[in-house]
Chain A
């Protein structure tokens, strides 16, 4: 079975631009979470979606938004990119958003803002 897939794997954008990152969860998983991992740090929680509804939001500015589609895939959008948005963006899926659920991570999208 395919794991969590993310696209693109690498991306270079200019300050002020907009970016869309995509994630396909493991088949049967209905919950998707997004994380930002800056070099040398642990992942920081951005969003959690379940059944197409936002269930959790981390401490990120409104420039960050996301949505989940009927097939449970998800997009993360970032507007007005800043140099500090350069990071590895990780998507994780789980069957449900339960507290004890294991998160299955994709390989991430490496975003570089220049």
Chain B
């Protein structure tokens, strides 16, 4: 079965410092990879996605992620964080459709990013 592991449950960081949120997935087949952000009391919003092509993907709000097939990782990075980046971040994968049809997006448990002044 597919799974997504977010290696850090919480990441505290000072404002304007760089940050990396780590994500590993288990899959022997090609998957599509996503990062979503969830602000308090809100739904999830897409930050970026990797479907194919360049392994470095740029998203909104200055975030980027690098797909590493050999390490089955899709780590999220930002060179300089702001207080407003404080939120929960979820890595997700969508494996190929099974014979029974339908795509199932599998989410990691989330990483809570705390940006301190």
- Residues of A at the B interface (CB closer than 8 Å) are 4, 33, 35, 40-45, 48, 50, 54-58, 90, 92, 97-108
- Residue B56 is within 8 A (CB to CB) of chain A in the complex: no
Partner of A42, one of B51, B101, B104, B110: B110
- Residue B46 is within 8 A (CB to CB) of chain A in the complex: yes
- Residues of B at the A interface (CB closer than 8 Å) are 4, 6, 32, 34, 36, 41-46, 49, 51, 90, 92, 94, 96-97, 100-110
Residues of chain A contacted by B32 (CB below 8 angstroms): 99-100
Q: How far is the CA of A42 from the CA of B4 in the complex (A)?
A: 10
Give the Cβ gap from A92 to chain B, nearest Cβ, in Å: 8
**How many Cβ-Cβ contacts under 8 Å join chain A to chain B?**
70
Task: Give B111's nearest chain A residue, CB to CB.
Answer: A42
Q: How far is the CA of A57 from the CA of B41 in the complex (A)?
A: 26
Q: How far is the CA of A99 from the CA of B94 in the complex (A)?
A: 6
Q: List 13 A-B contacts (CB under 8 A).
A: A4-B43, A42-B107, A43-B44, A56-B100, A56-B101, A58-B104, A92-B44, A98-B103, A99-B97, A100-B94, A103-B44, A107-B43, A108-B43
Partner of B103, one of A4, A90, A97, A106: A97
With A57-B102, A100-B94 known as contacts, the answer to whether A106 contacts B107 (CB < 8 A) is no
By the criterion CB–CB under 8 Å, are B101 and A55 in contact? Answer: yes
Partner of A45, one of B46, B90, B106, B108: B106
Task: Give B50's nearest chain A residue, CB to CB.
Answer: A100
Residues of chain B contacted by A107 (CB below 8 angstroms): 41-43
By the criterion CB–CB under 8 Å, are A42 and B43 in contact? Answer: no
Supplied contacts A99-B32, A100-B49, 10 more A-B pairs, CB within 8 Å:
A42-B107, A42-B109, A43-B90, A56-B104, A90-B44, A102-B34, A103-B105, A105-B44, A107-B42, A108-B43
Q: How far is the CA of A92 from the CA of B90 in the complex (A)?
A: 15
Partner of B102, one of A97, A102, A108: A97
By the criterion CB–CB under 8 Å, are B43 and A48 in contact? Answer: no
Task: Give A105's nearest chain B residue, CB to CB.
Answer: B43
By the criterion CB–CB under 8 Å, are B109 and A41 in contact? Answer: yes
